[in-house]
A and B are shown apart, each in its own frame.
Chain A
Amino acid sequence: MREVSTPKLIGIFAITTLIFLSGFMFARFLTDTKLSDLDNSINDIALQTASVETEYNLLLENPCIYGGFAKLTSSLGEFTDKLVFNDAQRQQNQDKIESIKDNYFLLETRHWIFVQKLNSECKTNFTPILYFYSDAGDCEVCKAQGIVLSTIKQDHPDTMIYSFDVNTDYSLVGTIKQIYGVKAVPSIVINDKLYGQFMNQDDIEKILKRQKVNSTSEQDNSEGQQLNDSSVVLNP
């Protein structure tokens, strides 16, 4: 039997192709499931964001009693871990992934603005850190930077990390980049100051410590001022 009959060959080709295509379909199915899962959670976070903001605006009398904020913060934090795709998936689902990410950047920005409001109006001490990364393969240290920032977040629960992909076409991210003059990846903005390079844990810890000292001394100063004021009142 040095020959294999044509029908047999066609059959073997058919089986091979069937297995091959099933592999593709299964991969497609898994990716689709993941994307719709991401879609659901981003919608959920959007709803939470809207509720928190609305609640804040509703409580005009005493806006600093706000609910749901902690849950929203942790949902946002967990979501960033889910944004894991390989190159092929990224290429095949570019539009879908872009739209999910843009949604996420919008929600991050709203959270960031909200935190700034809380800091100024409710005397909270959150430290927002903006982190600009690239996952287009041109940022070798971005992975390390991401891990450093999550460690910082663990050690300092008051920090709020907001990560933005610099490669997005989303105009909102473009505007934020423009505000701080972000040119390179990775870049970090702490307290409105841009650090356009990789920052290790010690670097960031130092900045956070300095900032804490500043803010406490500011508080001390203002309390001193008040005391002086009252003393002025007491001793006319």
Chain B
Amino acid sequence: MEWLNWLALAGIYISLFAGTFFIYIFLENRKNLVLEEPKEWPSVTIAIPAYNDAETVGKTIESVLALDYPKDKLQILAVENNNSTDGTYEVMKKYADKGVEVYTIPQGGKGPALNFAITKARGEFFGGLDADSFAEPDALKKIVCRFTAEDIAAVTPALKVYKPKNFLGRIQQIEYMTGVFLRKVFDYLDSIHVTPGPLTVYRKSFFDKYGGYDEHNITEDLEIAMRIQSKNLRIKNAIDANVYADNPETWAPLSKQRVRWYLGFIENIIKYKELLHPKYGVLAVYILPMAFISVFLAMLFSTYSMYRIGLQIVTYPFFLRSIGFNIVAALSNGFSQLIQGVPDVKTILAIPLILFSFTMLYLANTHSKEKAHVGIFFIAYAVAYIYIFSIWWIMAIGYKLFGRKLKFGGTIWENSLLNYLLNRGRQDARG
């Protein structure tokens, strides 16, 4: 297993490099985090697409109404779609007299609802806010401030988890806070390749020129970000504009969400493979390849360690039986091995890696004015996350290879390798 050792060391070097690189870029650029407000605020349209969101849509609309932004410059659209059965439309209509324009369309999906909203939008800027998310009052101003040049087509917020309730929630909190940090670093490197649904604000002229949301794409927010990059326009990030998403905190819906995201990443990377051309700079030669390398490293780490742990679990009862279930002796032996053994280089190098993750979280926390602080247990969550992340990726790759049909909201996905081969086989038979 000599090669595995070398691979692990290479993985550690790659991770150390990423940590050093990202923290360096963040620290180098953080001076220009605060921007001056414009003399006159531009007009903005915020669209809230909703389908069976009666419970949360009210809170979302209220958070938009509460935004600290000149009222005459803010147009609010609420679009119910796909004939919700839980009274979403009725909840929305209550806000009509507060200036919210309420619509209902029969088609399903967030894409069609947002595209419909674009046709009704009067603002210079356009942003969507999912009906299960809400924004802090100063978020919109902070986002709009970031449109400092004509070639900036979109600005993303700091997307966070609102008051996580359980283990999966807390894992996502760490993940999102790391995301807050990374998105700012990617901003500095002009390499943001995801513009999350909740309150990313776009220059509306982009839609007029290059079309609206891709309604057949399972991750329309990834598609649009990659489209912006492919047109050589820029995406910026407002790290202090806090937007909270109400994320699934149970296994099944969360996994479905992740399979959709990761499948969407594969699909859109294939669609926009030109982004891997070196002319796209850091995005092409480092950020996108690194996304794949990190998936590979996470899968390698989790499968190998699971294999080792699994082997221990299987053999441990036999081991205990051979020592006559003398657990005290087994424990004292393990303890003695632990103190007598000298840590190897991989264990030692885990220390800077943990310090780097902690620094990233710390920087994200302080610069986005996060109130909830992650405790020392973040290491446990981070390690658990690597395993869960790998499982989701294995699921997504499995679907990409052998899946038949998946339904995400109103969008149907059938784009697997198996389906492709079967269809070609059928065509050959016909031909």
Contact = CB atoms under 8 A, between A and B. Distances in A.
Interface of A: 1-4, 8, 11-13, 15-16, 19-20, 23-24, 26-27, 30-31, 34, 81-82, 84-86, 88-89, 140-141, 143-148, 150-151, 198, 200-202
Contacts of B344: 27, 86, 88-89
B154 to A, nearest CB: 16
Interface stretch (B142-150, B199-207, B335-343, B419-427): B335-343
A23 B322 contact: no
Contacts of A145: 322
Nearest to A82: B340
Contacts, number: 102
Contacts of B342: 27, 30-31, 34, 85-86, 89
A200 B189 contact: no
Given A2-B191, A85-B341, A144 B319 contact: yes
B333 interface: yes
Contact of A147 (B13, B281, B323): B323
B188 interface: yes
Contacts of B282: 1-4
Residue with the highest number of chain A CB atoms closer than 10 Å, among B282, B341, B344: B344
A2 B352 contact: no
Interface range for B: 35 or more
Contacts of B352: 19, 23
B166 interface: no
A200 B341 contact: no
13 contacts: A8-B24, A15-B24, A19-B349, A24-B345, A84-B336, A84-B337, A143-B333, A144-B319, A148-B323, A150-B329, A150-B333, A151-B329, A201-B323
A147 B329 contact: yes
A2 to B, nearest CB: 3
The 6 A-B residue pairs with the shortest CB-CB distance, nearest first, are: A2-B281, A27-B345, A144-B322, A23-B349, A84-B340, A16-B17
Contacts of B341: 84-86
Interface of B: 5, 12-13, 16-17, 20-21, 24-25, 188-191, 280-283, 315, 319, 322-324, 326, 329-330, 333, 336-337, 340-345, 348-349, 352
Contacts of B20: 12, 15-16, 19
A143 to B, nearest CB: 7
Contacts of A198: 322
Contacts of A24: 345
B343 A30 contact: yes
A202 B283 CA distance: 66
B24 A12 contact: yes
A16 B17 CA distance: 5
B323 A144 contact: yes
A201 B189 CA distance: 65
Contacts of B191: 2
A11 B23 CA distance: 13
